[in-house]
């Protein structure tokens, strides 16, 4: 019997395969070592193959699609309801095989190598930023032990560390001075690496029309624009801006029943990094709302009169997400409407 649908449970070493025919009959249950997967699939007649959208899934989606198969990536949360009693690789592969055939299932577009490379830059920058924050806090706390209080901001701490090389400037024991100078050198190296990554993102930004269009939105800079352009390869996956905002976890969590609508805090589902970038950008716009003579600025000012500032920030991030989807879907640039 010919196999029409195949579910593959990805792993580091051993992959589990579960295949069914046109009538839903099980025709394949097989384990394969990682290195044998592509050779095996090259000998299989083209069919529908489902994968969970997990680490390495985009690589496998590209490689398997190159063999002539139709590949669909499924969010893990949407596969879980199809897992039967026991949780194991065989059950997961069977669940993937069943979920991929559902008519209303939502899938994840496979990213290209270029898009994944841009996201590697973003993840590397995010890691270096966290390491920089740890170093700044360590230097600030160690100086406080000797009665030296530093002003807020990375620039103030870095400037103070540079002045530590002058033994007459600050009264510090030689051992403490040596240790802090070592931390300061690491801080400067991190800053240079972060600047190098940002230069690479700027180069890609100038080559990406989608990223350039997104930068025209208030509260969206080059970092946010490049992250969004690389993370959303196909905006047509979402039917409207609200779906895109829900994908980012910027819509209220629902707990409605019996005709009573109960809305809670934002769901925080989906990509937390993109959500954080949008919220940071919305915070900047909110602080400048008094001086923004546009319809969005007027909307923010009215909202601030009756809602807490943090709620307004999240609402503005939601609004920005919907605008992002509209520009990506229509291939247009942002045009600010004047205040009424």
Q: How much is the pLDDT for 117?
A: 95
Instruction: Indicate whether 324 belongs to any domain.
Output: yes
Clarify whether residues 135 and 245 are in a common domain: no
Q: How much is the pLDDT for 299?
A: 87
Which CATH number does the domain housing residue 53 bear? 3.30.420.140
Residues spanned by the domain of 186:
113-207
Q: How much is the pLDDT for 264?
A: 67
Residues of the chain with pLDDT under 70: 1, 167-169, 256, 260, 263-264, 339-340
Instruction: Indicate whether 106 belongs to any domain.
Output: no
Instruction: Indicate whether 201 belongs to any domain.
Output: yes
Clarify whether residues 190 and 227 are in a common domain: no
Q: How much is the pLDDT for 263?
A: 67
Domain finish residue from 42, 67, 99: 99
Clarify whether residues 251 and 292 are in a common domain: yes
Does residue 291 contact residue 301 with C-beta atoms inside 8 Å? Answer: no
Clarify whether residues 231 and 292 are in a common domain: yes
Clarify whether residues 199 and 216 are in a common domain: no
Clarify whether residues 132 and 93 are in a common domain: no
Clarify whether residues 223 and 310 are in a common domain: yes
Domain finish residue from 41, 72, 99: 99
Q: How many domains does the structure of the chain reveal?
A: 3
Instruction: Indicate whether 12 belongs to any domain.
Output: yes
CA 181 to chain centre: 35
pLDDT, one tens digit per residue, over 130-188 is 999 999 888 888 888 888 887 777 777 777 777 777 766 677 888 888 888 898 889 88
Q: How much is the pLDDT for 184?
A: 87
Instruction: Indicate whether 107 belongs to any domain.
Output: no
Clarify whether residues 232 and 203 are in a common domain: no
Specify the pTM.
0.87
Instruction: Indicate whether 228 belongs to any domain.
Output: yes
Instruction: Indicate whether 337 belongs to any domain.
Output: no
Clarify whether residues 293 and 216 are in a common domain: yes
Instruction: Indicate whether 104 belongs to any domain.
Output: no
Q: How much is the pLDDT for 46?
A: 94
Clarify whether residues 304 and 222 are in a common domain: yes
Clarify whether residues 227 and 316 are in a common domain: yes
Domain finish residue from 207, 233, 251: 207
Clarify whether residues 74 and 124 are in a common domain: no
Does residue 309 contact residue 290 with C-beta atoms inside 8 Å? Answer: no
């Amino acid at each position: 019997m010919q196999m029409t649908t195949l579910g593959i449970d990805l792993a580091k070493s051993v992959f589990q395969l579960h295949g069914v025919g046109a009538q839903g009959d099980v025709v394949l249950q097989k384990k394969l070592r990682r290195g044998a997967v592509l050779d095996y699939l090259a000998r299989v007649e083209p069919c529908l193959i489902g994968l969970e959208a997990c680490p390495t899934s985009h690589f496998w989606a590209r490689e398997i699609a190159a063999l002539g198969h139709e590949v669909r990536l499924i969010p893990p949360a949407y596969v879980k309801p199809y897992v039967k009693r026991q949780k194991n690789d065989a059950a997961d592969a069977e669940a993937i095989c069943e979920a991929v055939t559902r008519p209303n299932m939502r899938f994840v577009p496979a990213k290209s190598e270029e898009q994944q490379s841009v996201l590697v830059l973003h993840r590397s920058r995010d890691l270096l930023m966290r390491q920089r924050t740890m170093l700044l806090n360590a230097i600030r706390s160690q100086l406080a032990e000797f009665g030296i209080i530093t002003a807020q901001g990375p620039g103030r701490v870095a400037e103070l560390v540079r002045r530590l090389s002058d033994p007459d400037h600050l009264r510090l024991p030689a051992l403490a001075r040596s240790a802090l100078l070592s931390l300061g050198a690491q801080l400067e190296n991190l800053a240079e690496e972060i600047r190098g990554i940002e230069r690479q993102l700027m180069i890609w930004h100038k080559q990406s029309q989608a990223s350039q269009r997104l930068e025209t939105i208030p509260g969206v800079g080059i970092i946010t624009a490049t992250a969004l352009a690389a993370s959303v390869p196909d905006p047509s996956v979402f039917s409207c801006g609200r779906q895109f905002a829900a994908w980012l976890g910027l819509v209220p969590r629902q707990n409605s029943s019996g005709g009573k609508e109960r809305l809670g805090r934002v769901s925080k589902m989906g990509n937390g990094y993109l959500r954080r970038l949008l919220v940071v950008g919305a915070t900047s716009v909110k602080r400048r709302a008094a001086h923004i003579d546009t319809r969005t600025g007027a909307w923010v000012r009215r909202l601030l009169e009756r809602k807490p500032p943090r709620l307004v920030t999240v609402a503005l991030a939601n609004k920005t997400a919907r605008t992002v989807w509209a520009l990506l879907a229509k291939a247009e640039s942002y045009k600010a409407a004047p205040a009424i």
